Amino acid sequence: MTFKENLLEKIFSKISQINEPRILDMGSGRSKNILRFLSQNPKLHYVGIEPNKADANFARDLLKQYTNATIINQLGYNPIENFGQFDVCMSLSVLEHVKELKTFLTNSVKAVKSGGLIVHLYDLGHSLYATSLKERLQVSLSNNFVDLLPESKVARYVNLEQVSQMLLGQGAEVREVTYHQMRSHKDFLMFLKLTLTKKKFWPEKFLNGNLKFLNI
Ligand SMILES: C[S@@+](CC[C@H](N)C(=O)[O-])C[C@H]1O[C@@H](n2cnc3c(N)ncnc32)[C@H](O)[C@@H]1O
């Protein structure tokens, strides 16, 4: 199970006692990870907000048999139907691509009902371990001149303290902050290859661990 899948398991287990849980997924992409949970719980209401038209259409097609699933093709900057009624609002690997972070985070707080759960999982891989000159340029522009870039090109460093402050400022309570940064995908694949082919190079503690949770 990947880290993201594991996190989704935890999120869905938290709302398993709710009769008709409502979950908002901001920056839902193709919504592939959600399929399983919708099939397990026919009463689950799922709304995905996805600005990329092709991905939104892919997700609509993927989830078409679930009448409780809706995909909205827009940015996460405006209120939607049932705003303030969601049990969970999450964004997975999205914050680093968001141009107007404060508006996005504010919406995530406003979307949930009182006592609702807000989860933002974001990746620093692009900014900390850019693998090409193009990616470095993209990160540098995103970090320093974000207004120059279209939303779809943003990939920047997201400051944890800033995120916490923005959420606190909207009345959210920060309950848990965890850090699971992995080096770049390229390094990870190299690590995996070496691990599988030349085990003797790696200390036992690496080999025994679950790779998906390794901090390397
Ligand atoms: C790396 S993908 C992650 C997709 C999905 N959450 C997943 O885990 O597979 C990032 C997504 O964020 C979306 N996105 C970027 N900026 C956004 C914004 N301002 N509001 C909502 N979604 C946004 C992108 O269109 C893209 O689908």
Tell if the pTM clears 0.95, that is, is over it. Answer: no
Q: Domain total for the chain?
A: 1
- Report how far residue 196's alpha carbon sits from residue 118's, in angstroms, rounded to the nearest whole number: 37
Q: Which domain holds residue 31?
A: 3-122+158-181
Q: Is residue 203 a part of any domain in this protein?
A: no
Q: Is 97 in the pocket of ligand 1 (CB under 6 A)?
A: yes
- Euclidean distance between CA atoms 55 and 44, whole angstroms: 21
Task: From the CA of 49, give the closest atom in ligand 1.
Answer: 21
CA of 189 to the centre of ligand 1 (A): 24
Q: Is residue 86 assigned to a domain?
A: yes
**CATH number of the domain encompassing residue 86:** 3.40.50.150
- Residue 21 CA to ligand 1 center (angstroms) comes to 22
* Substitution candidate for ligand 1 out of 94, 99, 103, 106 with most atoms within 8 A of CB: 94
pLDDT tens digits along 150-198: 999 999 999 999 999 999 999 999 988 887 765 555 565 665 555 454 4
Please write the tens of the pLDDT for every residue from 101-155: 999 999 999 999 999 999 999 988 888 888 899 999 999 999 999 999 999 999 9
Count of beta carbons in the 10 Å neighbourhood of residue 149: 15
Residue 92 CB less than 6 A away from ligand 1 = yes
Q: Across all residues in the chain, what is the average pLDDT?
A: 86
Domain assignment of residue 212, yes or no: no
